[in-house]
């Protein structure tokens, strides 16, 4: 039953992009766990806690994205092999340098932000306000988290010029 009133062909684009976002979030989540477990050195306490905050947030968003797909009467991807095949984010290697970790997370954010912006356009085309509201909030939060990580890494990643 089409109780939400969406045009099926337009909605399929939204769902495909929601599944892409779900896949990207799963790989991003695992990258954060990797870095949380492998960070060390002078920035250990800051980054260990920050990565935990970010992966806890990602875990909540993963569930919300999957439930949105279900609300739209589709099935979310649910196997890690499918996430790896669908995601634009790559699994991160085990890194030792904390700035490399942050740079990798910022690269992951850039991919997720682009995914969200594309998804917002598809949701707008479909007049899917529910997806639009959810993703708009996610986008605002991720942009702020990106700014904070970028500010933390500013001196190392972009040395001051004389």
pLDDT at 42: 93
Q: What is the pLDDT along the chain (162 residues), one digit of tens a residue?
A: 577 888 888 899 999 999 999 999 999 999 999 999 999 999 999 999 999 999 999 999 999 999 999 999 999 999 999 999 999 999 999 999 999 999 999 999 999 999 999 999 999 999 999 999 999 999 999 999 999 999 999 877 565 554
pTM value is 0.93
pLDDT at 13: 95
Smallest CA-to-CA distance from 68 within 25, 107, 110 is with: 25
pLDDT at 140: 98
Q: In the chain, where are the structural domains located?
A: 8-153
pLDDT at 159: 59
Q: What is the CATH number of domain 8-153?
A: 1.20.1260.10
């Amino acid at each position: 039953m089409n109780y939400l009133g969406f045009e099926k062909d337009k909605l399929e684009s939204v769902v495909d992009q929601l599944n892409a976002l779900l896949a990207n979030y799963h790989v991003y989540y695992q990258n954060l766990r990797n870095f949380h477990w492998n960070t060390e050195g002078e920035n250990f306490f800051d980054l260990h806690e920050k990565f935990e905050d970010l992966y806890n947030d990602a875990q909540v968003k993963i569930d919300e994205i999957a439930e949105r797909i279900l609300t739209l009467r589709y099935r979310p991807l649910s196997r890690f092999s499918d996430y790896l095949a669908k995601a634009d984010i790559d699994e991160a290697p085990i890194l030792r340098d904390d700035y490399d970790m942050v740079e990798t997370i910022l690269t992951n954010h850039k991919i997720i932000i682009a995914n969200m912006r594309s998804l917002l356009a598809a949701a707008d085309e479909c007049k899917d306000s529910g997806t639009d509201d959810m993703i708009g909030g996610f986008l605002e939060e991720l942009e702020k988290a990106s700014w904070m990580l970028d500010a933390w890494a500013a001196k190392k990643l972009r040395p001051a010029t004389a």
